[in-house]
């Protein structure tokens, strides 16, 4: 039995109209009370509280692995899709309908706030963000102005729409961390070596810190817009932080990520901090101020939790490539991640990076079922 989400008034093309073209299973939508949403397994795990089952969601769960996503995105550029609240709503909801994940993550891109303040760039297929005029001097840094809510009204509209449609499923807002945004801006696009980024960092630390200071404001403002509109948690993505030594991370990066997270402290929403290749950075990332630290597939969660400390939950960390293997292999690895995660004070099941485009959606659905089945336990709450 399926229910279709109600149409969104005022949209050029409503989410319900878009969703009616897909074959994914729909969920019944109802408005939760604040207590019901706060009691969700995902938010309880963020707070390191007992959960009825380990919550699960996937980075890039709304994306190219879903045929319904490919259908609604056909002929629409990435950045254009991020500025359409009807599409953002529909795409964010798709994996919730299909997989019954425990949280939705806002559909956007880490460069959206950069575009909103006037940085010229394009997301090139097969390449990633390409910057028209890279930021490499003190004068270039002056081109970065602060971000305000009026710069991204489409984000506010989409988040409000999603909160109404998701019911008791929490919505995660997100932003790119200052280092990762800086790397794109300095390099002019993706980089394997981050050589220009490091050259600026080492050679002109004054310019580097000025750049990251402005990017910290942009990232925190972008997250604050999402929280003010109703997001229940946030994730700060530092995709390229693993290119740094721990000493360099602490000196050149951690203060700026810490500022982003500190700026959100008064909101009370859980904060997740994630990077790739960050095994040696985990203690420093934990100290930056998040409630949950995301871990990639290279480090067992039990080891990661020991490095991060007892006052943080962990998120992760199935290798995305495992999902391309035979079902029994997937099951073995899911079981292993759950066992490892049980050593942490709180665990949110996720991948160690984003869902690969060639992943079979049915495998993701089965992983959600496995996680819920294998981790189910009674929860005793105080009267």
Burial of 202 (0-12, 13-18, 19+ CB in 10 A): exposed
Q: Is 109 tagged catalytic?
A: yes
User: Is 248 an active-site residue?
Assistant: no
Report how far residue 8's alpha carbon sits from residue 90's, in angstroms, rounded to the nearest whole number: 10
The distance from CA 162 to its chain's CA centroid, rounded to whole angstroms, is: 16
Choose, from 48, 73, 160, 336, the residue flagged as catalytic: 73
- What are the backbone angles phi and psi of residue 364, rounded to the nearest 5°? -60, -45
Containing 122, the helix (H) or strand (E) segment is strand 121-124
Minimal CA–CA distance to 166: which of 102, 73, 216, 114? Answer: 102
Q: Which helix (H) or strand (E) holds 367?
A: helix 361-375
CA 52 – CA 20 distance, rounded (Å): 33
CA–centroid distance for 209 within its chain: 25
Binding residues for substrate are 60-64, 109, 184, 239, 353
Q: Count the Cβ atoms, other than its own, within 10 Å of residue 225.
A: 24
Output the known binding site. 60-64, 109, 184, 239, 353
Q: Which of 39, 109, 122, 140 is catalytic?
A: 109
What dihedral angle (degrees, nearest 10) is formed by the CA atoms of 236, 82, 149, 292? -20
Q: Considering 13, 47, 48, 64, which one is annotated as catalytic?
A: 64
Would residue 107 show up in a list of annotated catalytic residues for this protein? no
Which candidate, 317, 82, 321, places its Cα nearest to that of 222? 82
The one catalytic residue in 69, 107, 154, 184 is: 184
Catalytic residues: 60, 64, 73, 109, 184
């Amino acid at each position: 039995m399926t229910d279709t989400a109600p149409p969104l008034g005022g949209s050029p093309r409503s989410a319900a109209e878009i969703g009616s073209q897909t074959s994914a299973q729909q969920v019944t939508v109802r408005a939760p009370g604040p207590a019901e949403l706060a009691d969700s397994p995902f938010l309880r795990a963020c707070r390191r509280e007992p959960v009825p089952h380990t919550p699960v969601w996937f980075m890039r769960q709304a994306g190219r692995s879903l045929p319904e996503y490919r259908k609604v995105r056909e002929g629409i550029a990435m950045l254009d899709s991020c500025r359409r609240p009807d599409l953002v709503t529909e795409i964010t909801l798709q994996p919730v309908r299909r997989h019954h994940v425990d949280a939705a993550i806002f559909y956007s891109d880490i460069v959206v706030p950069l575009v909103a303040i006037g940085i010229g760039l394009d997301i090139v297929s097969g390449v990633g963000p390409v910057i028209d005029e890279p930021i490499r001097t003190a004068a270039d840094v002056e081109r970065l102005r602060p971000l305000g809510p009026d710069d991204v009204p489409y984000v506010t509209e989409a988040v409000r729409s999603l909160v109404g449609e998701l019911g008791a499923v929490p919505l995660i807002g997100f932003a790119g961390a200052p280092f990762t945004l800086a790397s794109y801006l300095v390099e002019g696009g993706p980089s394997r070596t981050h050589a220009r980024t490091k050259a600026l960092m080492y050679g002109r630390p004054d310019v580097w810190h000025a750049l990251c200071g402005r990017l910290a404001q942009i990232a925190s403002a972008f997250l604050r817009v999402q929280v003010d509109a109703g997001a229940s948690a946030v994730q700060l993505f530092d995709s390229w932080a693993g290119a740094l030594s721990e000493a360099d991370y602490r000196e050149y990066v951690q203060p700026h990520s810490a500022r982003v997270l500190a700026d959100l402290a008064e909101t009370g929403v859980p904060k997740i901090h994630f990077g790739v290749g960050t095994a040696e950075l985990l203690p420093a990332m934990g100290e930056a101020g998040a409630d949950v630290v995301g871990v990639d597939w290279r480090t067992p969660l039990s080891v990661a939790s020991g490095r991060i400390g007892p006052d943080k939950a962990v998120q992760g960390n199935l290798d995305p490539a495992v999902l391309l293997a035979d079902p029994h292999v997937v099951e073995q690895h899911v079981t292993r991640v759950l066992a490892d995660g049980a050593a942490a004070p709180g665990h949110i099941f996720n991948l160690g990076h984003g869902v690969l485009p060639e992943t079979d959606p049915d495998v993701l659905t089965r992983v959600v079922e496995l996680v819920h089945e294998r981790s189910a336990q009674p929860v005793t709450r105080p009267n």
